[in-house]
């Protein structure tokens, strides 16, 4: 549950940075939750499947591409941006970096994995 809330906040911040719009409505919160749920449960599945098939980092690359498509067709519909695909790529990249930074900071500072699925 904590993981979903943290990832939702991360994608909210990433979307707000890209669109420069910090207000939210109920439909945008639901869209954030859907993207976060898919990110929390699908990205580890792709990573594990790639490990089982000895495909190295290909699973994570496919998960990142899936995340870009999800963001494009679910989140970006609510945002005011000039280029939908570029905004999707930037939001996915900022989200992935923030997820990694928060997970590493929690691990180094408190010896706890906040985002245990990643």
Q: Is residue 118 predicted with pLDDT exceeding 80?
A: no
Q: Which domain holds residue 53?
A: 2-15+26-110
* Residue 115 in domain: no
Dump pLDDT digits (tens) for 56-77.
Answer: 778 778 888 999 999 999 999 8
Q: Which two tokens stand for residue 102?
A: 């928060």
pLDDT at 27: 93
Tokens of 67: 């995340």
33 falls within a domain: yes
**Confidence (pLDDT) at 116:** 61
Task: Kindly give, in sequence order, each residue whose CB lies less than 8 Å from that of residue 59, ignoring residues fewer than 6 positions away.
Answer: 46, 47, 48, 49, 50, 51, 53
pLDDT band at 45 (very low <50, low <70, confident <90, very high): confident
**CA dist., res. 61 & res. 103, Å (int):** 19
What global pTM score does this model have?
Answer: 0.88
CB 79 within 8 A of CB 21: yes
Other CB atoms within a 10 A radius of the CB of residue 17 amount to 14
Q: How many structural domains are present in the chain? A: 1
């Amino acid at each position: 549950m904590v993981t979903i809330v943290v990832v939702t906040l991360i994608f909210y911040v990433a979307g707000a940075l890209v669109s420069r719009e910090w207000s939210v409505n109920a439909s945008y919160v639901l869209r954030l939750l859907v993207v976060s749920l898919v990110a929390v449960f699908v990205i580890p599945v792709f990573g594990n499947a790639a490990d089982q098939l000895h495909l190295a980092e290909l699973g994570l690359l496919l998960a990142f591409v899936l995340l870009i498509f999800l963001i494009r067709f679910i989140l970006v519909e609510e945002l005011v941006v000039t280029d939908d695909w570029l905004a999707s790529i930037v939001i996915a990249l900022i989200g992935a970096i923030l997820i990694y930074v928060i997970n590493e900071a929690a691990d180094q500072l408190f010896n706890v994995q906040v985002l245990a699925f990643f």
